[in-house]
């Protein structure tokens, strides 16, 4: 017979146990301060934690707003943005994803100062113009939750917290209380060199080049000529140089990158062809798909000269 009840247990061990349960239905029973989880032939017991009043998060103030969106589109822009979140906590805001709303547009921004990603999508209903910073770990969990269930997903924000409601599951996270950088200042307004190239061909060449570069200064050099582009790497173990068919508009240029950051960005562009837009060997390079303005990436070059 099913009965209602409640208890507080350590979230990490509970999550780990449930994730490793065998196939089949799981049954939960509470006896005093002991929670028993039975699934097939597996029996697990966890000791509950003492508590007087479990904190409740409220999302009904004047500054609260809700975003509803398509699950598939939401997961896509999260995954194409969150890879650029910083791991170093020296700048707390960069360890999260900036969410900006304007009318019926939701944009997500992430950067670790070496790579930058911005992706946008249309949401179901118009919301106020807002800026919030969601922790990277919470964003990753929301991406996983979006794989489950169907229909719309909803994110509700208060001044200090966010609630992700996926229908069958809810995640509540504290927002990062730190101003995000004014990223619009660093976005190039024009470019002197624009290269149109097949994404897969560039990725394959960079991937090969990094095999040599890791024993040197861990950089790959893009040699942009008048009619083609070459990818070059050199170190004590050898040398690699690939020539790639490309359409070059503007000045020739030599520019070097950490191959990991360059590949990170290219992997998150869905189209077959990309534009590389450069101004100089030391200014950030814009990478964008040929069609659509919803995706925008930057990679900061390396100084090797």
CA distances from 264 to 83, 97, 235, 261, 269 (A): 7, 17, 22, 5, 9
Residue 266 has pLDDT above 70, yes or no: yes
Q: Give the model confidence (pLDDT) of 99-119 as tens digits.
A: 999 989 999 999 999 999 999
Segments making up each domain of the chain, as ranges: 1-54, 65-185, 188-299
H-only helix segments in 53-167: 71-82, 136-145
Residue 135 has pLDDT above 90, yes or no: yes
| Helices vs strands, H then E, count in the chain | 5, 17
Average pLDDT (230-238) is: 92
Split at pLDDT 50, 70, 90, the class of 254 is very high
Q: Give the model confidence (pLDDT) of 177-198 as tens digits.
A: 989 999 998 888 899 999 999 9
Pick the CATH number of 188-299 from 3.40.50.300, 2.10.109.10, 3.40.630.40, 3.10.150.10: 3.10.150.10
Query: Which range among 74-88, 127-141, 290-304 shows the weakest confidence by mean pLDDT?
Result: 290-304
Split at pLDDT 50, 70, 90, the class of 231 is very high
The second-level CATH assignment, the architecture, of 65-185 is: Roll (3.10)
Residue 167 has pLDDT above 70, yes or no: yes
**What's the whole-number average pLDDT of the chain?**
91
Q: Give the model confidence (pLDDT) of 25-41 as tens digits.
A: 999 999 999 999 999 99
Residue 305: the pLDDT is 55
Q: How far apart are CA 47 and CA 105, in angstroms?
A: 46
């Amino acid at each position: 017979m099913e009965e209602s009840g409640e208890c507080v247990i350590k979230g990490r061990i509970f999550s780990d146990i449930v994730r490793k349960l065998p196939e089949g239905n799981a049954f939960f029973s509470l006896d005093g301060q002991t929670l028993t989880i039975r699934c097939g032939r597996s029996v697990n017991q966890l000791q509950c934690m003492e508590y007087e009043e479990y904190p409740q998060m409220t999302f009904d103030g004047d500054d609260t707003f809700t975003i509803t969106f398509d699950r598939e589109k939401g997961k896509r822009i999260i995954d194409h943005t969150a890879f650029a979140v910083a791991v170093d906590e020296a700048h707390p805001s960069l360890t999260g994803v900036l969410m900006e709303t304007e009318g019926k547009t939701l944009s997500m921004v992430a950067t670790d100062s070496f790579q930058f990603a911005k992706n946008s999508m249309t949401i179901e209903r118009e919301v106020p113009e807002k800026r919030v910073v969601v922790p990277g770990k919470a964003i990753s969990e929301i991406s996983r939750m979006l794989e489950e269930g169907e229909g719309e997903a909803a994110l509700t924000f208060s001044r200090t917290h966010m609630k992700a409601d996926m229908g069958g599951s809810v995640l509540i996270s504290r927002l990062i209380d730190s101003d995000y950088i004014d990223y619009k200042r660093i976005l190039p307004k024009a470019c002197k060199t624009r290269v149109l190239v097949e994404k897969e061909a560039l990725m394959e060449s960079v991937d090969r080049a990094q095999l040599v570069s890791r024993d040197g200064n861990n950089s790959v050099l893009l040699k942009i000529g008048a009619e083609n582009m070459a990818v070059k790497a050199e170190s004590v173990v050898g040398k690699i140089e690939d020539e790639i068919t490309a359409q070059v508009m503007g000045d020739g240029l030599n520019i070097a990158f950490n191959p990991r950051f360059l590949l990170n960005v290219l992997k998150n562009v869905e189209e077959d062809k990309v534009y590389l837009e450069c101004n100089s060997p030391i200014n950030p390079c814009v990478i964008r798909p040929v069609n659509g303005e919803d995706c925008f990436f930057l990679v900061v070059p390396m100084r090797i000269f």
